[in-house]
C-alpha cells in the first residue's frame, strides 16, 4: 500500500467529516434561529419576566360613627417558584432554620398546592419584618424563594367582638370546588365566620398584577413598563350599626361573666351592640393560628368560640310570661283584674310547683303578676290559655325561627306544641305539668338571647319591628357618593288590640318602678324604662339571669336583652348592666 496515498485519503476523509459537521450545525442553527425563533424567544422571555400578583387591600370596617373597627396592616407571605426551585429539600431545610418552622410544613404545602412550573406556591403566611430581613440577607442561598406583600387584619378601636367580626383563613379544598369561590385561587384568604364571611365578596376586592424582570438568580430587577399592569381594586368598606363606645362599655362590664347583651334600634332593627362572653382576642386569628392555641380554645370549658347571643338555645325563664299574658288577653281568656292568691307554691295533682318567692305574693292581678313575676299566677293562667294558643302566639312573635341577622351559625330555637309532645311522649301521655313549665320559660322551650331582644323590640313598638342587622352602609372608598344602605326588613305582628299592648307596657313599667318591681336596679334616673326579669333554672349549677326591655317608655328608641349564665336572679345581675348601658346612652346624648 502506498503510504502517501493513505495519508492523503485520511486528510480528505477528515475534511469531509468536518464539512458535514459544519453543515449540520449550520442547518441546526438556521432552524433554531429562523424557524423556531418564536418558540425560544417566548421561553427566554418567560425566564426573564415574572408575573407578580398584587393583593387588594381588604375592605375597612367602621362603626356607625365612622370609627375604624377593622383595618389592614402590611404582612408578608413566602412563595416557592417550581421552575426556579432546583433543590427543594435543601432550600426548605435552610428556610426552615431561618424562619424557625419545620421544613415538613413547606414540603406539605408545596406538594399540595403546586399547579405549574411558573405558578407561585404560597408556603408560609404572615412573616414578620425581622424574619423577612433574614430572608433578604440569605437570598442567594434560597433560589426559587420569593416573598410578597398582602394585607393582614388588625383591630385599632379596642373593640373585641370576635363572634361579630369573624376571622379569616386560607381557602380549603371544599371552597375551591364550590361555585361561590369560583374566582379564587389556592392560598387565597377568605372570611370564615361573622361579617368577614357574610360580606366576603364585598370586602375582598379584586387582585391586580404586574410584570417584573428577573436576573439569572431569580432576583427582581425592574418593573417592565411596556407590559401593561393592572392595579388591585380595594374591597368596599362596611359601616356597621355598632356603637363602638357602647360595645366597649358592655364588653368591659361583662368581661368576667358568661353571657351577653344585644341592643337594637327600635326604629330600624339596627344592632347597636352585640356582646358574647367569654370571647377571645380576634388578633389570634389575624395570622395562622398554632395547633396549641386552637386546642386551648376548643378545649376551654368556658367555650370562648361559642356565640351565646346567636347560637345558644336556652330557657328564657320568666321573661317569657309576656307571651302567656298577650295570648290570654287577646283571646279574652284572661281577665286582667282577676285576682289569684299565691301562697308560694301551686299543687297540680301530686306535684308541687314552686313560686320563686317562698312566702308567696298574696293576691295579685295580671299587672301585679308581671311586676312581681309571680309564677303561681301564670301557672293558673296558662291552663286557661292552653298549649295551642301559647304555641300559636309564640310563633306569631317569630320564636322557633331564625331572626335572619347577617351573621353565621344562627340557631332557630324550639317552640314545642301538641304535635311535638305527642311525638315525644305519645298521644295523650303527657301531662299539664309540661304546660306549667312552659309558661315560666322552662322545659322544652329554647330561645336565643338575640330572639329575646327582637321580641322586646316588637313589644316596644306594639307589634311592629325589623329583622336585626349589623350592616348599615356599604361604601366605595374611591367615590364617597357611592353608598348602599341596608334594606330594613319589617317584621309585623298583626291583630293585637291596643288595650292588650297598654296592659303589657304598664306591667313592664311596674317591673322597674313598681313598689314590688323585680328590676328596680335598672332605673337610670333621667328616662323611664320598661322591662321584664327572668331566672331560668339550671340543673348543672347556678340559675341563668335574664332582663329584657325597652327605653324610653313613651317613645322607645332601644330594645335590649341581657343574659348571664349562672348569674342567679335577673333583677340582681342583668338589670344593673342595663342601667349602665342606658346611662352611657344618656351621657352621650344618644337616646
Is position 269 within any domain?
yes
The tally of domains found in the chain comes to: 2
Is position 453 within any domain?
yes
Is position 486 within any domain?
yes
Q: In this structure, what C-alpha cell is assigned to residue 470?
A: 349589623
Is position 22 within any domain?
no
Which pLDDT band, with edges at 50, 70 and 90, does 504 fall under? very high
Query: Please, what sign has the CA dihedral across residues 447, 448, 451, 452?
Result: positive
pTM: 0.86
Is position 57 within any domain?
no
Minimum mean pLDDT among 164-173, 218-227, 374-383, 505-514: which range? Answer: 218-227
If asked whether residues 491 and 355 sit together in one domain, one would say yes
**Alpha carbons 246 and 273: distance in angstroms, whole number:** 7
If asked whether residues 439 and 557 sit together in one domain, one would say yes
How many C-beta neighbours within 10 Å does residue 432 have? Answer: 15
**Alpha carbons 500 and 206: distance in angstroms, whole number:** 54
How many C-beta neighbours within 10 Å does residue 119 have? Answer: 16
SS3 162: helix
If asked whether residues 444 and 553 sit together in one domain, one would say yes
Q: Angle at which helices 432-439 and 375-396 pack, to 10 degrees?
A: 80
**Alpha carbons 323 and 169: distance in angstroms, whole number:** 42
Is position 417 within any domain?
yes
Please give the residue that has the higher pLDDT: either 211 or 516. 516
Final residue belonging to a domain, choices 153, 173, 202? 153
DSSP secondary structure code for residue 182 in this structure: T
What CATH number has the domain bearing residue 113?
Answer: 3.90.1310.10
Please give the residue that has the higher pLDDT: either 550 or 568. 550
Residue range 417-426: mean pLDDT, rounded? 94
Instruction: Give residue 31's pLDDT.
Output: 62
Q: How many angstroms separate the Cα of 479 from the Cα of each of 59, 112, 473, 475, 582? A: 14, 41, 14, 8, 36
Is position 28 within any domain?
no
**Alpha carbons 275 and 580: distance in angstroms, whole number:** 14
Is position 375 within any domain?
yes
Domain containing residue 91:
73-153
**Which segment, 1-15, 22-36, 308-322, is predicted with the most confidence on average?**
308-322
What CATH number has the domain bearing residue 370?
Answer: 3.40.710.10
Final residue belonging to a domain, choices 138, 153, 168? 153
Q: What are phi and psi of 313, to 5 degrees?
A: -110, 115
Q: How many angstroms separate the Cα of 196 from the Cα of each of 154, 170, 354? A: 13, 13, 47
Tell me the pLDDT tens digit for each residue of 175-212: 888 988 988 888 788 999 999 999 999 999 998 888 77
Tell me the pLDDT tens digit for each residue of 362-398: 999 999 999 999 999 999 999 999 999 999 999 999 9
Look at residue 450 and tell me whether its pLDDT is greater than 90: yes
If asked whether residues 261 and 142 sit together in one domain, one would say no
The helix or strand, by DSSP H or E, that contains position 385, with its residue range, turns out to be helix 375-396
Q: In this structure, what C-alpha cell is assigned to residue 428?
A: 295523650
Tell me the pLDDT tens digit for each residue of 63-111: 999 999 999 988 888 999 888 888 889 999 999 898 888 999 899 989 8
Residue range 439-468: mean pLDDT, rounded? 97
- Contact indicator for 366, 377 with CB cutoff of 8 Å: yes
Final residue belonging to a domain, choices 153, 175, 193? 153
Instruction: Give residue 477's pLDDT.
Output: 82
Q: Which residues are within 8 A (CB) of 38 and not within 5 positions of it... i.e. 6 or more apart?
A: none
Looking only at the bridges linking them, the beta strands covering 271-277 and 351-354 are unpaired
Which pLDDT band, with edges at 50, 70 and 90, does 50 fall under? low
Look at residue 285 and tell me whether its pLDDT is greater than 90: no
Instruction: Give residue 130's pLDDT.
Output: 86
The helix or strand, by DSSP H or E, that contains position 48, with its residue range, turns out to be helix 37-48
If asked whether residues 143 and 254 sit together in one domain, one would say no
Residue range 530-550: mean pLDDT, rounded? 90
Q: Looking at the chain, how many residues does it have?
A: 591
Cell 317569657 -> residue: 320
Instruction: Give residue 288's pLDDT.
Output: 74
**Alpha carbons 265 and 272: distance in angstroms, whole number:** 7
Q: Which residues are within 8 A (CB) of 141 and not within 5 positions of it... i.e. 6 or more apart?
A: 91, 94
Of 412, 27, 25, 49, which Cα lies nearest the Cα of 212? 49
Amino acid at each position: 500500500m502506498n503510504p502517501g496515498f493513505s495519508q492523503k485519503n485520511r486528510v480528505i476523509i477528515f475534511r469531509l467529516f468536518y464539512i458535514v459537521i459544519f453543515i449540520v450545525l449550520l442547518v441546526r442553527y438556521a432552524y433554531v434561529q429562523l424557524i423556531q425563533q418564536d418558540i425560544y424567544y417566548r421561553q427566554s422571555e418567560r425566564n426573564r419576566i415574572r408575573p407578580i400578583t398584587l393583593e387588594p387591600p381588604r375592605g375597612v370596617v367602621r362603626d356607625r360613627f365612622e370609627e375604624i373597627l377593622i383595618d389592614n396592616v402590611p404582612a408578608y407571605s413566602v412563595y416557592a417558584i417550581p421552575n426556579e426551585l432546583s433543590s427543594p429539600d435543601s432550600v426548605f431545610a435552610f428556610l426552615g432554620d431561618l424562619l424557625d418552622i419545620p421544613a415538613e410544613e413547606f414540603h406539605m404545602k408545596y406538594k399540595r398546592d403546586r399547579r405549574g412550573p411558573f405558578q407561585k406556591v404560597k408556603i408560609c403566611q404572615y412573616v414578620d419584618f425581622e424574619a423577612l430581613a433574614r430572608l433578604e440577607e440569605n437570598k442567594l442561598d434560597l433560589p426559587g424563594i420569593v416573598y410578597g406583600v398582602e394585607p393582614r387584619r388588625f383591630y385599632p378601636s379596642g373593640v373585641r367582638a370576635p363572634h361579630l367580626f369573624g376571622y379569616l383563613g386560607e381557602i380549603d379544598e371544599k371552597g375551591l370546588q364550590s361555585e361561590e369561590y369560583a374566582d379564587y385561587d389556592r392560598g387565597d384568604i377568605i372570611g370564615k365566620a361573622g361579617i368577614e364571611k357574610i360580606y366576603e365578596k364585598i370586602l375582598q376586592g379584586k387582585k391586580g398584577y404586574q410584570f417584573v424582570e428577573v436576573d439569572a438568580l431569580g432576583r427582581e430587577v425592574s418593573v417592565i413598563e411596556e407590559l401593561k399592569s393592572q392595579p388591585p381594586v380595594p374591597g368596599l368598606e362596611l359601616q356597621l350599626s355598632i356603637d363602638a363606645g357602647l360595645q366597649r362599655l358592655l364588653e368591659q362590664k361583662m368581661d368576667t361573666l358568661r353571657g351577653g347583651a344585644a341592643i337594637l334600634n327600635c326604629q330600624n332593627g339596627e344592632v347597636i351592640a352585640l356582646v358574647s362572653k367569654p370571647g377571645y382576642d380576634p388578633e389570634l386569628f389575624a395570622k395562622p393560628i398554632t395547633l396549641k392555641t386552637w386546642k386551648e380554645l376548643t378545649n376551654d370549658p368556658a367555650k370562648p368560640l361559642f356565640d351565646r347571643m346567636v347560637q345558644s338555645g336556652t330557657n328564657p325563664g320568666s321573661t317569657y310570661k309576656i307571651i302567656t299574658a298577650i295570648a290570654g288577653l287577646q283571646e279574652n281568656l284572661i281577665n286582667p283584674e282577676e285576682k289569684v292568691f299565691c301562697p308560694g307554691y301551686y299543687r297540680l295533682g301530686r306535684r308541687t310547683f314552686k313560686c320563686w318567692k317562698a312566702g308567696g305574693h298574696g293576691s295579685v292581678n295580671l299587672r301585679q303578676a308581671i311586676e312581681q313575676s309571680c309564677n303561681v299566677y301564670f301557672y293558673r293562667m296558662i291552663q286557661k290559655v292552653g298549649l295551642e294558643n301559647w304555641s300559636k302566639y309564640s310563633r306569631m312573635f317569630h320564636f322557633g325561627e331564625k331572626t335572619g341577622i347577617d351573621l353565621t351559625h344562627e340557631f332557630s330555637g324550639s317552640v314545642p306544641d301538641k304535635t311535638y309532645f305527642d311525638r315525644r311522649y305519645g298521644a295523650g301521655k303527657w301531662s299539664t305539668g309540661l304546660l306549667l313549665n312552659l309558661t315560666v320559660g322552662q322545659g322544652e322551650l329554647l330561645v336565643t338571647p338575640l330572639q329575646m331582644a327582637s321580641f322586646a323590640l316588637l313589644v316596644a313598638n306594639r307589634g311592629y319591628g325589623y329583622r336585626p342587622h349589623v350592616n348599615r352602609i356599604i361604601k366605595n372608598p374611591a367615590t364617597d357618593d357611592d353608598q348602599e344602605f341596608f334594606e330594613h326588613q319589617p317584621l309585623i305582628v298583626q291583630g293585637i288590640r291596643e288595650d292588650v299592648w297598654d296592659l303589657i307596657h304598664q306591667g313592664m313599667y311596674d317591673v322597674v318602678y313598681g313598689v314590688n318591681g323585680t328590676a328596680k336596679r335598672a332605673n337610670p334616673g333621667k328616662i323611664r324604662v320598661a322591662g321584664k326579669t327572668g331566672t331560668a333554672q339550671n340543673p348543672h349549677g347556678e340559675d341563668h339571669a335574664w332582663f329584657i326591655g325597652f327605653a324610653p317608655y313613651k317613645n322607645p328608641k332601644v330594645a335590649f336583652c341581657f343574659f348571664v349564665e349562672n348569674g342567679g336572679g335577673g333583677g340582681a345581675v342583668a338589670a344593673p348592666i342595663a342601667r349602665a348601658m342606658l346611662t352611657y346612652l344618656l351621657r352621650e346624648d344618644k337616646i
